[in-house]
Amino acid sequence: MQFRLEKRAEPSRFMLYATPVGAVILTMIVGAIIFSLIGYDGIGAVREVFLTPLTNAYKWQDLGIKAAPLIIIGTGLSIAYRANVWNIGAEGQYVVGALAGTWVALATYTMSGPWILPLMILAGVVGGALYAAIPALLKTRLNVNEILTSLMLTYASIQLIYYLIRAQWKDPMGIGFPQTRRFAESAQLPTVIPHTIVHLGVPIAIVVALVAWFIMSRSVFGYRMRVVGAAPHAARYGGFSENKTIWLAMLVSGGLAGLAGVLEVAGPFQRMVPGFATGYGFTAIIVAFLGRLNPLGVIFAGIVLAITFVGGEVAQTTIKLPDAATGIFQAMVLFFLLAGDLLVRYRIRRVVTTPAGAA
Amino acid sequence: MTLSRRDILKIGGAAAALPLLGGTAFAQEKLKVGFIYVGTINDNGYNYGHNQGRIFLQDALGDAVETTYVENVPEGPDCERVLRELAQQGNKLIFATSFGFGDAVIKVAAEFPDVAFEHATGYMKADNVGLYNARFYEGRAVCGTIAGHLSKTGKAAYIGSFPIPEVVMGINALALSGRRINPAFTVKPVYISTWNDPAKEGDAARALIDQGVDIIAQHTDGPAALQVAQERGIVGGFGQGADMSAFAPEAQLTAIIDHWGPHYVNSAKAVIAGTWTAGDTWEGLKEEVVQMGAYNKKIPADVVADAEKIRTGQIDGSFKIFTGPIKDNTGAERVAAGVAMTDAELLSMDWYVEGVEQPV
């Protein structure tokens, strides 16, 4: 006896939206059991990781600034993934966008004016898009797999940080520590709510997601991306160029990753440091899928992942949960989501094999 | 009873202030002490050393303190959030144990003027931010003496994190003491831009051994480089932060062990007594904040005796490694004969002594 996966004719729409929620709930249940079994307060772990960040008003600002880059990058990735373009290197585009913004900030260090920040943001978007153009070019010209090239360019981008901050951009006051000087006032992202750390990047993230949602659901561009992803043959028949779609998907997702990068360096960091790349670009992949590749879903998914980060730290201080627990919870969400997706799209059929020789 | 608009505002204001009280209202009886580490407590090196210090504090003061730690905290905005979290949870004494936490410590300390912060190996002080550091370089002088005697190729490598004075000082101490024994002794520094990445540390060690190095010292947090030294069978290396002989029984010649516990006890006692002020301590072998591990059996007795001479000399003050004449690696004299460098000069050291290859 064996089992076989059989494609369902029409996946249930309800289940499509229920799986992300189910994945999070299942993560909580299984997480509680696993951590209880290995000797921690399992229920406490789930409470601290998933609920405390929501119930403690002090944590909301942390959630906002942690979710903002995830939402911006996740929105871009959801657009690219819709078109079956697998940009895995958002982390690298995030870094290059931030470096481009840093370049503007350092070049204008002695100047001031309201034009500096918009120029930095523009540089960030362009920087991220240009960095994503490399895998796009390789893909469309030489048919090189964009998953590999975009991923590998991430590691190159981190070396680029080290290279720049060790010499040209080194802080003259930093006693040799490889980091840039703190940005001038005009190059720092303002906070939008007084007496909090909530910076301008948070409302920008929401606006980006809403605009992306509108474009994806209401414009020809959005229609093109969705059709190319869902039915490539039909798209070709309909006159949509595959190469043009790859270019658009890479430039949009790269540009948004670059935007997230420049907002992060101008906001929370206020200078470029060697530890700038903390993995937002990779976590945003989970965010895009958890959000069903829909920009509105990405907002919620970004908040859920931000909760696990902030809650993971709470759990370390309150119930002494190890840091690795955060990663375990995040990985479980993705695992259950992908497993759930499989079952939504396929059904499991038992196959009775006929005994050998019977025919 | 009628409520005026002003009353409502008052109630609203009181309610808004409630969460501010939550963290501290019940924390009077025990002193809560928080620690943040840049790596994991299982690195068997630097962060392990700080965590041993935390355990020492907990054991020494027992019920008078409650300690908490957060590990793997990235140097950046995440660190700021963790510090704020610890302060809000009612920790009145917080130790930030990595250089790159500096910006965040200064920022958060300004928001919590009643919390005492201490930043290890940093340089920025404030009214409620003290500094503490250890004279690791004294241990390096002992290591360098052994390296100078034992190295056959006369070439040592030094795997560092970032070219900050603290690391530069250690490289220079190793080179100076090695060259006292073998004037042809050289040190090649390599910076890997992280405190803790076993894969990078191991790769750097492999590449350096291929270039003919037979001694490896490191100023990163874990035993990865020593493990490679063990595997490749070179003369050896030195444990950093903690005794790493379990990982490299043949290769670890000795170790520089950080013993932060007594400092943590002193600070906690001062906070409890209400006498804590933002200090700036820099202690070494004499105060036993820096200790040497056991000497490897394979080291000949006369070499051990020489190393011991350097160790005890630094304890009684008769030997100071940074005493002139010292030339830099371009040949220019930096310190005149018989002159000892001051602490201020050491803490801003950004040049390499003769015998150190200029890193790229």
Count CB neighbours of B198 within 10 A: 15
Hey, is B157 helix, strand or coil? strand
Count CB neighbours of B313 within 10 A: 17
DSSP string, A185-245: GGGSPPBSSTTS--BTHHHHHHHHHHHHHHHHHHSHHHHHHHHHHH-HHHHHHTT--HHHH
What pLDDT does residue B14 have? 46
Judge whether B165 is closer than 8 Å to chain A, CB to CB: yes
Q: Cβ of A313 and B72 within 8 Å?
A: no
Hey, is A44 helix, strand or coil? helix
Evaluate if residue A175 carries a pLDDT over 80. Answer: no
Percent of chain B with pLDDT over 90: 76
Instruction: Tell which B residues from 35 to 74 touch A, by Cβ distance under 8 Å.
Output: 40, 68-72, 74
Question: Counting every residue, how long is chain B?
Answer: 360
The arithmetic mean of pLDDT across residues B48-58, rounded, is: 95
Q: Which of B43, B103, B349 to mutate to test the interface with A (most CBs of A within 10 A)?
A: B103
| Locus of tokens 């959030």 | B81
| Locus of tokens 């869902």 | A230
Choosing among 3.40.50, 3.30.1330, 1.10.287, 1.10.3470, the CATH entry for A2-351 is 1.10.3470
What pLDDT does residue B1 have? 44
Instruction: Tell which B residues from 297 to 356 touch A, by Cβ distance under 8 Å.
Output: 347-348, 350
Are B223 and B178 spatial neighbours (Cβ–Cβ below 8 Å)? no
Q: Which of A70, A323, A326 to mutate to test the interface with B (most CBs of B within 10 A)?
A: A323
Chain B hits for A269, Cβ within 8 Å: 76-77
In chain A, the residue whose alpha carbon lies closest to the alpha carbon of B80 is A268
Question: Where do the domains of chain A lie?
Answer: 2-351
Evaluate if residue B17 carries a pLDDT over 60. Answer: no
Round the average pLDDT of chain B to a whole number and report it: 89
Judge whether A274 is closer than 8 Å to chain B, CB to CB: yes
- Fold classification of B18-134+260-283 is Rossmann fold (3.40.50)
In chain A, the residue whose alpha carbon lies closest to the alpha carbon of B41 is A322
Q: Which of B20, B26, B70, B352 to mutate to test the interface with A (most CBs of A within 10 A)?
A: B70
Q: How far is A251 from chain B (nearest CA, A)?
A: 28
Chain A hits for B191, Cβ within 8 Å: 166
What pLDDT does residue B15 have? 46
Range scoring the smallest mean pLDDT among A15-19, A135-139, A332-336, B295-299: A15-19
Judge whether A322 is closer than 8 Å to chain B, CB to CB: yes
Of residues B165, B97, B167, the one with CA closest to residue B347: B165
Q: Which of B37, B78, B106, B200 to mutate to test the interface with A (most CBs of A within 10 A)?
A: B78
Are B103 and B78 spatial neighbours (Cβ–Cβ below 8 Å)? no
Which of A65, A177, A313 lies closest to B70 in CB terms?
A: A313
Are A70 and A302 spatial neighbours (Cβ–Cβ below 8 Å)? yes
Question: Where do the domains of chain B lie?
Answer: 18-134+260-283, 136-250+289-346
Q: Which of B47, B162, B220 to mutate to test the interface with A (most CBs of A within 10 A)?
A: B162
Tokens of A281: 């670009």
Q: How far is B168 from chain A (nearest CA, A)?
A: 10
Evaluate if residue B26 carries a pLDDT over 50. Answer: no
| Locus of tokens 């069903």 | A292
Evaluate if residue B178 carries a pLDDT over 60. Answer: yes
Question: Counting every residue, how long is chain A?
Answer: 359
H or E stretch at B207: helix B198-210
What pLDDT does residue A357 have? 53
**CATH architecture, domain B136-250+289-346:** 3-Layer(aba) Sandwich (3.40)
Tokens of A356: 């050998």
Core vs surface per residue A102-133: b (16+ CB within 10 A) or e: bbbbbebbeeeeeebbebbbbbbbbbbbbbbb
Judge whether A172 is closer than 8 Å to chain B, CB to CB: no
**φ, ψ dihedrals at B76, nearest 5°:** 160, -155
Chain B hits for A56, Cβ within 8 Å: 19
Q: Cβ of B19 and A322 within 8 Å?
A: no
ipTM of the complex: 0.71
Q: Cβ of A269 and B86 within 8 Å?
A: no
| Locus of tokens 């990781």 | A49
CA dist B224 and B230 (Å) reads: 10
Instruction: Tell which A residues from 64 to 93 touch B, by Cβ distance under 8 Å.
Output: 65-66
CA dist A233 → A12, A237, B43, B187 (Å)? 24, 6, 53, 63
pLDDT digits (tens, 9 = 90+) for A61-120: 899 999 999 999 999 999 999 999 999 999 999 999 999 999 999 999 999 999 999 999
Chain A hits for B85, Cβ within 8 Å: 313-314, 317
Chain B hits for A320, Cβ within 8 Å: 68
Evaluate if residue B181 carries a pLDDT over 90. Answer: yes
Q: Cβ of B89 and A320 within 8 Å?
A: no
pLDDT digits (tens, 9 = 90+) for B86-117: 998 899 999 999 988 998 999 999 999 999 99
